[in-house]
Amino acid sequence: MPEGDTIYRTARTLQKALGGKVVTAFETGLAKLAAVDDESRVVGRTVERVEARGKWCLIFFSGDLILVTHMLMSGSWHIYRVGERWKLPRRMMRVVVRVSEASVFPTHARKDAHEWATQSWGEFEAVLFNAQVAEFHTARSLERSSQVPKLGLDVLSEGFSVEGGVRALRERAASHPEDEVGVVLLNQRVMAGLGNVYKSEVAFAAGVNPFRAMRTITEREMEALVEAARRYMTANVVEGTSEQMVTYTGPRRTTRAMDHGARLWVYRRQGQECRRCGAAILMRKQGVQVRSTYWCPVCQPWVAG
């Protein structure tokens, strides 16, 4: 499943390509979306903004229409210039949103070949492939929807603060004291954005055993968890050029060609030496979703409370 920062990057790219532009064509293979489009046409609306909320990507059209998509395992949004060949077969297409530049004519004087070529590429299409969840909402139905979770404070949003994140964890500890912290870090209703890789990395950075109950987590540990979450997510969004996540940037003993685990502290490193203390990293499945959780038994000691 894509991590929150991947969805965030997707939303940012969609925002750049579609934001402020007018929809010139809308196409879908999904009956429910097509029915809504029949009733209240998407064509002619302006894309007001594109937003990531945890694992969800929301496209806001003018006139109170919101396209809500969940990426799940295999869903993805691609951006193409109109006429460009798609990288995935057409049968995997679920939605196409085509937009046109607001201004068709160049506002400046230079009219060399390159300029004209660029100009003729003024139309973009955003293509959603393979997503299993895609639906239209109004602001009101989105608010009421039980399927689209009411997300917690998004780790990557501008309004995010450490105090806000700590408050969310503290509230969860009060209402669900036996919840394991590794499960809570993945719970998008508490804090939105963290995926399974970051869950283990963040718990390691905070020195917190991911299987501890929330009632045993101190205020300082909550702060450390929230700070690490913010730091890792932000760093990986800013880097932006690669899908690879990086939390470990210490001296590298290996060659330049590195596998995924070589850039992380604990994730997928079970049996290998802890980069901090040398103990063997452990792995265990966790929660009702049986997600793999990695930790160092020395750096992240067990506390029964």
Give contact residues for Zn ion (rule: CB under 5 A): 274, 276-277, 279, 296, 298-299
Q: Token pair 């503290």 is at which residue? A: 170
CB of 278 to Zn ion, least distance (A): 7
CB of 301 to Zn ion, least distance (A): 10
**Which residues are 136's β-sheet partners?**
67
Q: Which is nearer to Zn ion, 167 or 263 (CB)?
A: 263
CB of 265 to Zn ion, least distance (A): 9
Q: Which is nearer to Zn ion, 258 or 277 (CB)?
A: 277
Q: Which is nearer to Zn ion, 165 or 182 (CB)?
A: 182
Residue 216: count of CB within 10 angstroms of its CB: 16
CB of 207 to Zn ion, least distance (A): 9
Question: Phi/psi at 183 (nearest 5 deg)?
Answer: -75, -40
Q: Which is nearer to Zn ion, 174 or 298 (CB)?
A: 298
Closest-CA residue to 182 (of 202, 156, 205): 202
Q: Which is nearer to Zn ion, 72 or 279 (CB)?
A: 279
Q: How far is CA 136 from the centre of its chain?
A: 20
Rounded distance between C-alpha atoms, residue 193 and residue 154, angstroms: 6
- The identity of residue 292, as a single letter, is S
State which H helix or E strand residue 52 sits in.
Answer: strand 47-53
CB of 269 to Zn ion, least distance (A): 11
